[in-house]
Amino acid sequence: MKYKIALVKGDGIGPEIVDAAVKVLDRVGDKFGHSFTYTDVLAGGCAIDAVGEPLPKESVELCLSSDAVILGAVGGPKWDTLPGHLRPEKALLGLRSAMGLYANIRPAVLHEALLSECPLKESIARDGIDMVIVRELTGGIYFGERGRGEGPMGPDAYDTERYSVAEISRIGRIAFGTAMKRRKKLVSVDKANVLESSRLWREIMHSLAAEYPEVEYSDMLVDNAAMQLIRKPSQFDVIVTSNMFGDILSDEASMLTGSIGLLPSASLGSGKLGMYEPIHGSAPDITGKNIANPIATVLSCAMMLRYSFGLEEEALCIENAVSMVLKAGHRTADILGESNAAPLTTTQMTEKIIENI
């Protein structure tokens, strides 16, 4: 089969890790007889530099006409002082919204070979960490009304958290469906003791729970969830939460697995088109040094094969290759830990993964 993939390499380490992932994909294509064609798409800080805006209309169209999008990272200190609507992050939010990608799937798995990289006590880590965070991605405070005004204490600013029944139901269904394919446990995270939007969120989740009697469902307040992720991460199978809470909790969960450089994500909508990206950022401090960990992007490609192309065997092949490489002790600098072995470069790690495909 032939697949058209849009590459939004973006800023910082984005181009290095996307180039690495493409090499792995091409190897998978050779092995299984698929052909992947790639189109570079301009978005983020590099687009601001080139054409004066973070997300040119043409870039959106290129993504919409592809079978899937792979995104490296956007942003960097160079563009940090620009006004909100001109920031590189606008490109990411704009693409999520324009492509209707309301569901962000972020698995956090602690590989056995990386047990010593988990910052938690060994007695806690040994119980295992294998969860999926399902984050709502096109609503809530990220997309609510915002502005500046004049309040009782002088000039002020506001952002609004607003969720519709329809938005909550559709992300809820994705989460229950995800739980059904896993250990059948779902925790919905909210702040229903304070926020009205969370109370609606909880009501809808409860009515869905009645439709999925096999799923062991519970609610958790977000502050408690932040604590429970550290106290006993093994209790989590699937977590569903809002855009903002999901942003924060997924970074927290990622660190439990040893490095944010390992975790992939998929952003999905109602069709097959999806956007796949590592959950880490553009890492300006290590840009251009060929030391970034390509694994998060490589695993994002596995998610693309699975969710957008329905190629389960091919996806597993990539995931197994990564596990084997880690088991064999190959490490990039971010997951080196106490070891005094020389870390692999981005290119060397990519080669190791390819050898195991």
Residues lying near Mg ion in the complex (CB under 5 A) are found at 247
Closer to Mg ion by CB, 22 or 137: give it. 137
**For this structure, is 219 an active site residue?**
no
CB 325 within 8 A of CB 353: yes
**How would you label 5-20 residue by residue, b for 16+ Cβ within 10 Å and e otherwise?**
bbbbbbbbbbbbbbbb
Cα 302 to the center of its chain, rounded Å: 13
Note whether 247 binds ligand IPM by CB under 6 A. Answer: yes
CB of 312 to ligand IPM, least distance (A): 25
Work out which of 26, 53, 89, 130 binds ligand IPM, going by CB under 6 A.
Answer: 89
**For this structure, is 251 an active site residue?**
yes
- The one catalytic residue among 3, 102, 142, 212: 142
Determine the size of the site formed for ligand IPM (CB under 6 A).
5
Mask 309-348, x = binds ligand IPM (CB under 6 A)?
----------------------------------------
**For this structure, is 232 an active site residue?**
no
The single-letter code of the amino acid at 38 is Y
CB 269 within 8 A of CB 174: no
| Distance separating alpha carbons of residues 118 and 143, to the nearest angstrom | 34
Closer to ligand IPM by CB, 282 or 332: give it. 282
**How would you label 51-61 residue by residue, b for 16+ Cβ within 10 Å and e otherwise?**
eebbbbeebbe
Phi-psi region of 258 (alpha: psi -120 to 50; beta: other; left: phi over 0): left
Structure tokens that stand for 273 in this block: 């088109």
**For this structure, is 217 an active site residue?**
no
The single-letter code of the amino acid at 70 is I
CB of 200 to Mg ion, least distance (A): 24
| Distance separating alpha carbons of residues 96 and 240, to the nearest angstrom | 18
Structure tokens that stand for 94 in this block: 């704009």
**For this structure, is 102 an active site residue?**
no
Closer to ligand IPM by CB, 89 or 216: give it. 89
Closer to ligand IPM by CB, 104 or 356: give it. 104
Name the 3-class secondary structure at 161. coil
Note whether 175 binds ligand IPM by CB under 6 A. Answer: no
Q: Tell me the residue nearest to ligand IPM as measured from the CB.
A: 89
CB of 209 to ligand IPM, least distance (A): 27
Chain positions contacting ligand IPM, by CB under 6 A: 75, 89, 92, 247, 279
Q: What are the catalytic residues?
A: 142, 191, 223, 247, 251
